[in-house]
Structures are given as C-alpha cells and as structure tokens.
Amino acid sequence: MHVAATGSLSSAARELDLSLASVSKRLSALERQLGLVLVRRTTRSQSLTPEGSAFLEHCKRILAEVDRAETLAAVSQRTVNGLLTLSSPRAFGVRHVIPLVIEFRKRYPELDIRLLFNDERFDTIEEGVDLSFRFGAPPDSTFFARQIAPNHQIICSSPSYVRQHGSPMSPADLQGHTCIVHGTRRSSWPLRRRKQTFNVDLSPKYIVNDTEAAQELAQAGVGICLGSIWNVTPELETGKLIKLLREFTIPDEPLYVVYPHGRQLAPRVRHFLDFAMIRLRVVWRQVSANNERILAVESEGRKHAARSVVSLALGDSMPDPGREIWQQPA
C-alpha cells in the first residue's frame, strides 16, 4: 500500500524507515506467494499492474474491517450489554439472585440476563455460564473462586412437628425422627459441640433434590431438615421454623462466586461481579444480625419458661426476680 501511495519503492522505504533493499525483497516475496506481478518496475518509476490494483482494493477493505472491529471491541470494553449467564442453587437464586439482577438491569437496560437455578452440579463451561454462586469451594483449579460470606447451616423443624414428636436432645436422637435430606438415600449430618464431632447416619423418610422443597416439607410439619441460614432466616423470624439442637454446629460451606480460571471478564461480567459482592455482603450482615436477634429472643423465652416452671413447682411462693427489681424504689 505504501508503494502505491508514494509511487516508488524508495519513497515507500523512507516512509517506513526501511532500506530500499528490504522493501524490494518483501514485495518480491509477496508476489511469489501470490503468483502475480503486483508492481511494474522501471528505472524511472513503479506502477501497479491491474492485478496489483485489484489486490490493493481488497487490502483496503480488509484493513477497514480490522479498524472497525478494533473500534467495536474498544467500545464493548466500556459498555455493559450482551448476554449475562448466571447460575446458583435454586432457593438461593430465587431469594437472593433475582433481586440482584432486577436492580442491576435497571442500571444497564441493554443487558440480557439468563438464569440457571439448579441444586445439582453441572458443566458450567459447556452451558456458557459467566458466574456461578455456590456454597463450598470449587472442585478444582479450573475455576477461580471469591468468597462472599459465611454460610451457617442449622437443623430445624416446624413448631407443630415438635409438639407432636418432641425435640431431639442429642445428635443420636435424630435417628428416631423423620428427617428430610437433600441428596442421596444414605446421608450423614456432621454435628460438632466444642471439640467433639458427631456423624449421624440417617435413614431419611424424604429425599429431595431441591433445598427449598426440603424446607417446605419441614414447614408442613412432616419432619426435620438441614437449612442454610441464607434461606431459612425469614421463616425463623416468623416462627414457621424453629432451630433444633442449638448447642451443636455444622461445618460451614461458605458462599462463593465462581468463574472459569484465566478467562478475560467482559465488562458486563466484571461489573456484575463487583455489584454482587457488595450487595450480598450487605445482605449477609442483615441475615446474621437477624439470626442473632432470633437466638436472643429464643434464649429469653427459655429463661422465662424455666422461671415459670420453678414458680409453679414452688406454688408461686418464689417472687419473680425481674418484678422485684423493677419495683424497687429509685
């Protein structure tokens, strides 16, 4: 193109800051590769052959398309648009991911969003998933994971189940109760108290592949389930579910956002990742505070019940310590 624009090999060489011999050698190599003569060479001037003119026009069009592609790529790096594909466990997705994407899309209305909610692990790369929300670390180094927040798991049931069947007092008691499990027929719940671990092997009466289904069954009063604090806190607040075996804990499976390792993140993915990290950490603080309040209320309720039992046993002869302190003169 420089030879055609300047009209000579020597002028093209000066413009490209190359030697005349180097420019001549490159032109000859191109002509041999194409099997065409592109430039007529005389001692006084050089001009394009008809084949050279046609080849030049094709090259101009190609370079124009390259410039356009580079411009579009640069614009896309600053624009949040296109298709964003997200995956998560179903209950978490319904409760937490949907509110996120609604708010995020209000900011970027040109964005399309695809949601895949599934409790079972699947090939997210094959499905074209940009970001996955998962409890527990990724299975291998193929993925990069950023921890968002903890995830406490609790054992719970409805108040009606406890009234009818009683409350388990130890992990071993769970074997005599109707348990609802997520996963396989043979399941084990690892419970801890202080430094002791109790692996309780269960023979569940209900096996589900959806954590929300397990929670619905528990609310219906048919059994005991294991739930994530992210999902069951509202039901604990309303009293639809109550926490059992409060002195025991279950190992955490923290909440992570996961994406393929080594992949350059598109602006829509990068912006949503930052947005979700901030928003979900705010939600976690609210969930954690609500759970602490629930535990405090339950603790106070147990203390009140214990005082009532003592009072009844003594025939109301024992004064209420709280009332006595309240009535003391200032």
For 31-92, the DSSP string reads HHHHTS--EEE-SS-EEE-HHHHHHHHHHHHHHHHHHHHHHHHHHHTT---EEEEEEE-HHH
Mean pLDDT rounded to a whole number for the chain: 80
pLDDT at 104 over 60: yes
Residue 326 within any structural domain of the chain: no
Residue span of the structural domain in which 69 resides: 2-76
pLDDT at 217 over 90: yes
Residues 276 and 137 in one domain: yes
Residue 138 within any structural domain of the chain: yes
Residues 243 and 164 in one domain: yes
Residues 24 and 64 in one domain: yes
Residue 325 within any structural domain of the chain: no
What CATH number is given to the structural domain containing 109?
3.40.190.10
pLDDT at 38 over 50: yes
Burial of 63 per CB tally in 10 Å (0-12, 13-18, 19+) = exposed
What is the mean predicted confidence (pLDDT) over 30-45? 74
Residues 51 and 135 in one domain: no
Residues 10 and 126 in one domain: no
The residue out of 29, 61, 76 marking a domain boundary is 76
Residue 173 within any structural domain of the chain: yes
Confidence (pLDDT) at 325: 35
Residues 157 and 245 in one domain: yes
Q: 222 pLDDT band (50/70/90 cuts)?
A: very high
Residue 313 within any structural domain of the chain: no
Residues 106 and 143 in one domain: yes
- DSSP-derived 3-state class of residue 328: coil
Beta strands at 206-208 and 39-41: parallel, antiparallel or unpaired: unpaired
- DSSP-derived 3-state class of residue 161: helix
Q: Within 10 Å of residue 189's Cβ, how many Cβ atoms?
A: 20
| Closest listed residue to residue 235, CA positions, set 170, 302, 171, 154 | 154
- DSSP-derived 3-state class of residue 145: strand
Residues 6+ apart with CB under 8 A from 328: none
pLDDT at 162 over 60: yes
Residues 6+ apart with CB under 8 A from 94: 117, 212
Candidate ranges 65-69, 186-190, 192-196; pick with highest mean pLDDT: 192-196
Looking at the DSSP assignment, which residues form a beta bridge with residue 86?
Answer: 115, 131
Residue 140 within any structural domain of the chain: yes
Give the largest Cα separation in the chain, rounded. 127
Confidence (pLDDT) at 329: 41
Cα 136 → chain centroid: 11
pLDDT at 75 over 70: no
What's the CA gap between 271 and 46, in Å, rounded?
54
Confidence (pLDDT) at 101: 95
The count of structural domains within the chain is: 3
Candidate ranges 175-189, 210-224, 278-292, 302-316; pick with highest mean pLDDT: 210-224
7 or 146: which leads in pLDDT: 146
Confidence (pLDDT) at 299: 60
pLDDT at 118 over 90: no
Q: 68 pLDDT band (50/70/90 cuts)?
A: low
Q: 295 pLDDT band (50/70/90 cuts)?
A: low
- Run of H or E residues at 283: helix 267-313
Residues 6+ apart with CB under 8 A from 128: 85
Confidence (pLDDT) at 263: 64
Residues 86 and 139 in one domain: yes
What's the CA gap between 131 and 125, in Å, rounded?
10
Residues 172 and 235 in one domain: yes
Residues 97 and 184 in one domain: no
How much is the pTM? 0.65
Residues 116 and 176 in one domain: no
Cα 206 → chain centroid: 28
What is the mean predicted confidence (pLDDT) over 167-179? 91
